[in-house]
Structure 1
Amino acid sequence: MHLIELLKDWPCTIRGNWRDVTIDSVTEHPNRLKKNCLFIARKGAHHDGIESIEEALDKGAAAIVIDRSVSESTLSKWSHRGAAVVTVPDCKKFLSFSSAQLSGFPSEELTVIAVTGTNGKTTVTHFIGQLLSQFGIKTAVVGTTGCYIDGEKVDEEIPSLTTPTAEYLHPLLRRCIDRGVTHVAIEASSLGLEMERLAHCRVSVGVFLNIGTDHFEEHGGRENYIKAKKKLCSLSERIVVNCEDTECMGIVKDIELPIHLFGRNVAGGCMPSEKLIGSLPPGEHNRLNAMAAASVVKLLGFPEIEIFSAFRLLTLPEGRMQLVEHEGRRVFIDYAHTPDALSAALQAVTSLNPRKLICVFGCGGDRDKEKRPVMGEIAESYCDTIVLTSDNPRSEHPLAIVQHILTGTKNPASISVIMDRKSAIHQAISASKPDDIVLIAGKGHETSQIIGTHEVRMSDLAEAMIALNQLETFLE
Structure 2
Amino acid sequence: MKFAELIRPWIKGEIPDCEILGLHNDSRQIKPGFLFFAYPGAATDGRLFIAQALEAGASALIYEPENWSAASQLPSEIPSVALPGLADKLAEIAERFYREPTKKLVVSGVTGTNGKTTIAYQLAQAHALLGERSAYIGTIGQGEVSALQTLANTTPDALCLQELMYSYEQQAIKQVCMEVSSHALCQHRVDNIDFQQAIFTNLSHEHLDYHQTMEAYAAAKAKLFAKPTLKWSIVNHDDKCSALMRAAVQSGQIISYGIQEGADVRALRWEVSLAGTQLEIASPWGQYQMRIKALGFFNIYNALAVFSSLVAYGYPVEQVVSVMAKLQAAPGRMEIVAQEPYAIVDYAHSPDALENVLATLQKVKKGKILVVFGCGGDRDRTKRPIMGKIASQYADIAIITSDNPRTEDPLAIIDAIEAGISVKNNLYKIPDREQAIAKALSLADKDDIVLVAGKGHEDYQQIGKTRHSFSDQAVIRRIMN
Same fold (TM over 0.5): yes
The reply on whether 1:321 has 2:315 as its aligned counterpart is no
Write out per-residue CA displacement over residues 232-268 of structure 1, whole angstroms, 9 at most, x where no aligned residue: 1233513211111112322332533332211147998
Choose the corresponding residue for 2:131, options 115, 131, 136: 136
The reply on whether 1:44 has 2:24 as its aligned counterpart is no
SS, match of residue 212 in structure 1 = coil
1:30 Cα offset (Å): 1.6
Choose the corresponding residue for 1:353, options 354, 365, 376: 365
Residue 472 (structure 1) aligns with: none
User: What TM-score results when the alignment is normalised by the length of structure 1?
Assistant: 0.91
Amino acid across the alignment from 1:245: D
Choose the corresponding residue for 1:437, options 449, 464, 471: 449
Residue 174 (structure 2) aligns with: 182
The reply on whether 1:123 has 2:118 as its aligned counterpart is yes
Residue 458 (structure 2) aligns with: 446
1:71–1:188 Cα change, 3 Å: closer
Q: Distance in 2 between matches of 1:122 and 1:224?
A: 22
SS, match of residue 411 in structure 1 = coil
1:67 Cα offset (Å): 2.8
Gaps of 5+ in 2: 268-279, 282-287
Q: Distance in 1 between matches of 2:416 and 2:380?
A: 12
SS, match of residue 152 in structure 2 = coil
Residue range with higher mean Cα deviation, 166-175 or 37-46: 166-175
Choose the corresponding residue for 2:32, options 23, 32, 35: 35
Q: Distance in 2 between matches of 1:319 and 1:71?
A: 44
The reply on whether 1:242 has 2:236 as its aligned counterpart is yes
1:463 Cα offset (Å): 0.4
The reply on whether 1:210 has 2:202 as its aligned counterpart is yes
SS, match of residue 147 in structure 1 = strand
Residue 473 (structure 1) aligns with: none
Q: Distance in 2 between matches of 1:64 and 1:306?
A: 51
Q: Distance in 2 between matches of 1:279 and 1:143?
A: 22
The reply on whether 1:64 has 2:61 as its aligned counterpart is yes
1:38–1:148 Cα change, 3 Å: closer
SS, match of residue 358 in structure 1 = strand
1:21–1:234 Cα change, 3 Å: farther
Q: Distance in 1 between matches of 2:411 and 2:262?
A: 44
Q: Distance in 2 between matches of 1:181 and 1:385?
A: 47
1:82 Cα offset (Å): 2.4
Gaps of 5+ in 1: 470-476
Residue range with higher mean Cα deviation, 269-278 or 434-443: 269-278
SS, match of residue 323 in structure 1 = strand
1:32 Cα offset (Å): 0.8
Amino acid across the alignment from 2:154: T
After superposition, residues 33-432 of structure 1 pair within 5 angstroms as: 33-69=30-66, 74-78=70-74, 81-149=76-144, 151-155=145-149, 159-235=151-227, 236-237=229-230, 238-257=232-251, 258-264=253-259, 269-271=264-266, 273=280, 276-326=289-339, 328-432=340-444
Name the count of aligned residue pairs. Answer: 460
1:304–1:268 Cα change, 3 Å: farther
Q: Distance in 1 between matches of 2:125 and 2:292?
A: 15
Q: Distance in 2 between matches of 1:3 and 1:307?
A: 47
Amino acid across the alignment from 2:443: A
SS, match of residue 289 in structure 2 = helix
Q: Distance in 2 between matches of 1:448 and 1:349?
A: 26
Residue range with higher mean Cα deviation, 220-229 or 124-133: 220-229
Q: Distance in 2 between matches of 1:437 and 1:71?
A: 57
After superposition, residues 2-41 of structure 1 pair within 5 angstroms as: 2-9=2-9, 11-12=10-11, 18-41=15-38
Residue range with higher mean Cα deviation, 435-444 or 160-169: 160-169
1:266–1:66 Cα change, 3 Å: farther
1:317 Cα offset (Å): 0.8
SS, match of residue 337 in structure 2 = strand
1:449–1:154 Cα change, 3 Å: closer
1:352–1:459 Cα change, 3 Å: same
Structure 1 vs Structure 2: percent identity of aligned residues?
Answer: 32
Instruction: Say if 1:391 and 1:421, in contact at 8 Å, map to a contact too.
Output: yes
Residue range with higher mean Cα deviation, 90-99 or 400-409: 90-99
Instruction: Say if 2:233 and 2:249, in contact at 8 Å, map to a contact too.
Output: no
Amino acid across the alignment from 2:52: E
1:78 Cα offset (Å): 1.3
1:266–1:174 Cα change, 3 Å: farther
